[in-house]
Every structure is written in structure tokens, then in C-alpha cells.
């Protein structure tokens, strides 16, 4: 991170949902870098006092949704997002917002976004998982998170399952990427930012996306 960003809105308390499978350290560091206060917790009472929530994630979809259910936070998260309170989903945390995934069996997600995740086709001639830097194809920027001077920003991905591009996101599709096949990379709705990639690991581009989202709140 070579540049230093500061949000010009009031500094916020950003709750990081702790359910045992998220990439807490780098997300916490990114939030601190932006001058906000990260609060890592699985306590609903603590999280409910936060200005924004972040759902990180890594590993398998089924393991992640099972761990999230064990915290008892699923109804709380569903209500929070439905009420359009500020929320960020990252990588597997992005995937959990959808209806489900076929990863190692059929698993239901939080059902807040339509669609189910599929495994990248084996015949695309590329190694799986998709791990590395790819450009985004921006379709719309609802919360103003993208740098208007960078029309194809490169960000860092790590995933084996993807959300096919369709018209079922009710206008929320914000950016796509391609790894053999095109896939949904960013969904935005009012006060919602959901990314298949890791903004906290995507250098200045990713930190800038988080900074501008927090500044929009």
C-alpha cells in the first residue's frame, strides 16, 4: 500500500464478523489504514453498534455457511442487509450473500442475492483455483467506489467457484471479470458492496475501493 487514504466523512466503527473462517488480519489492517476503528466480534450486541459490517471469508462455501450459522448471526445479517444498513462482503463472504453453491455438494446461502455458484469449467485451459490479478469490467458504479480514471482496474482473486453473469441481480451488477468464462465480480446496491476479489489484498486499487465506499456512507 504505497498511498495513504483518509475518509473525509466522520471516522466510523467497522464491525468485522468473526465466524472462524474469515481473513480477519488483512481486513482489520486495511480498515485501520483508512483511519477507521475495526471491531472483530461475533457478538450481535457489539456488532449492532457499528456503522458498517464486513463479512470476510476464505475456504469452502459449506464450511463457511455452517460456521456462520453456529454463531447465530444469520438472521441478524439478513435483517441488516435487508434494511440497507452499510455492509461489505468479501470473497467467500461475497458468495454467502447469494442463494447457494454447488461446492462439495449443494449448500444454501443467505439468500440476499439471487444465483448459485458453479465450479469453473475444467476445459477452459486454465489452472483452478483462479488465483491472481485480473482486470474488472465495470458496468455501473452505484456507490462511487471506482476510480473514474481507471477503466479496467486490476484486483486480486482467489476462488474456484464463480457466479455466472445474468440479468437476475435486479440492477445490482457493478463489475464482471473473466477467467475462461465471465463471472460476477462486484455487486453494489444502496449501502452494499460485495466483491468476489480481495480488496484488502489488491493494493492501492482495493484500498481505494474500500475508502470510497466508506466515504459514501
State residue 111's pLDDT score: 97
- How does pLDDT run across 76-130, given as a tens digit for each residue? 999 999 999 999 999 999 999 999 999 989 999 999 999 999 999 999 999 999 9
For the cut 50, the answer to whether the pLDDT of residue 2 exceeds it is no
122 is catalytic: no
To the nearest whole number, what is the mean pLDDT of the chain? 93
Which candidate in 52, 195, 198, 211 is catalytic? 198
Q: Which of 215, 74, 95, 67 is nearest to 161 (CA)?
A: 95
141 is a domain residue: yes
Which candidate in 107, 130, 200, 211 is catalytic? 200
Place of cell 473473466: 178
- How does pLDDT run across 145-177, given as a tens digit for each residue? 999 999 999 999 999 999 999 877 877 999 999
**Between the CA of residue 210 and those of 27, 37, 134, 193, what are the distances in Å?**
10, 14, 18, 9
- One-character DSSP codes across the chain: --S----SS---EEEEE-SSSS-HHHHHHHHHHTT-EEEEE--HHHHTT-SEEEE---S-HHHHHHHHHHHT-HHHHHHHHHTT--EEEETHHHHTTEEEE-TTS-EE---SEEEEEEEPPGGGSS-SSEEEEEE-EE---TT--S-TT-SS-EEEEEESEE-B--STTTT-EEEEEEESEEEEEEEEETTEEEESS-GGGSHHHHHHHHHHHHHH-
For the cut 80, the answer to whether the pLDDT of residue 1 exceeds it is no
- How does pLDDT run across 178-214, given as a tens digit for each residue? 999 999 999 999 999 999 999 999 999 999 999 999 9
For the cut 60, the answer to whether the pLDDT of residue 134 exceeds it is yes
134 is a domain residue: yes
Q: How many domains does the chain have?
A: 1
> Could you tell me the residue range of the domain that residue 183 belongs to?
13-216
123 is a domain residue: yes
6 is a domain residue: no
1 is a domain residue: no
Place of cell 440479468: 167
CA distance 207 to 200: 6
**Between the CA of residue 200 and those of 62, 99, 203, 206, what are the distances in Å?**
23, 25, 7, 6
Which candidate in 36, 50, 52, 91 is catalytic? 91
CA distance 198 to 94: 10
pTM for the structure as a whole? 0.94
2 is a domain residue: no
State residue 92's pLDDT score: 97
17 is a domain residue: yes
Residue 113: burial class (beta carbons within 10 Å; 0-12, 13-18, 19+)? buried
200 is catalytic: yes
4 is a domain residue: no
91 is catalytic: yes
Domain of 192, CATH number, reads: 3.40.50.880
Amino acid at each position: 500500500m504505497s498511498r495513504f487514504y483518509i475518509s473525509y466523512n466522520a471516522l466510523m466503527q467497522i464491525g468485522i464478523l468473526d465466524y472462524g473462517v474469515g481473513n480477519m488480519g488483512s481486513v482489520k489492517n486495511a480498515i485501520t489504514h483508512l483511519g477507521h476503528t475495526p471491531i472483530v466480534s461475533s457478538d450481535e450486541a457489539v456488532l449492532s453498534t457499528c456503522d458498517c459490517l464486513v463479512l470476510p471469508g476464505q475456504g469452502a462455501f459449506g464450511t463457511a455457511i455452517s460456521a456462520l450459522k453456529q454463531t447465530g448471526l444469520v438472521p441478524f445479517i439478513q435483517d441488516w442487509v435487508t434494511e440497507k444498513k452499510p455492509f461489505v462482503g468479501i470473497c467467500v463472504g461475497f458468495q454467502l450473500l447469494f442463494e447457494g453453491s454447488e461446492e462439495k455438494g449443494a449448500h444454501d446461502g443467505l439468500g440476499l442475492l439471487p444465483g448459485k455458484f458453479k465450479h469453473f469449467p475444467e476445459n477452459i485451459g486454465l489452472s483452478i483455483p483462479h488465483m491472481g490479478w485480473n482486470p474488472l469490467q465495470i458496468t455501473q458504479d452505484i456507490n462511487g467506489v471506482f476510480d473514474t480514471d481507471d477503466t479496467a482496474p486490476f484486483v486480486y482473486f482467489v476462488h474456484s467457484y464463480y457466479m455466472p453473469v445474468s440479468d437476475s441481480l435486479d440492477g445490482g451488477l457493478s463489475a464482471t471479470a473473466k477467467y475462461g468464462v465471465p463471472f460476477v465480480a462486484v455487486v453494489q446496491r444502496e449501502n452494499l458492496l460485495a466483491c468476489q476479489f480481495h480488496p484488502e489484498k489488491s493494493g492501492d486499487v482495493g484500498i481505494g475501493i474500500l475508502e470510497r465506499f466508506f466515504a459514501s456512507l
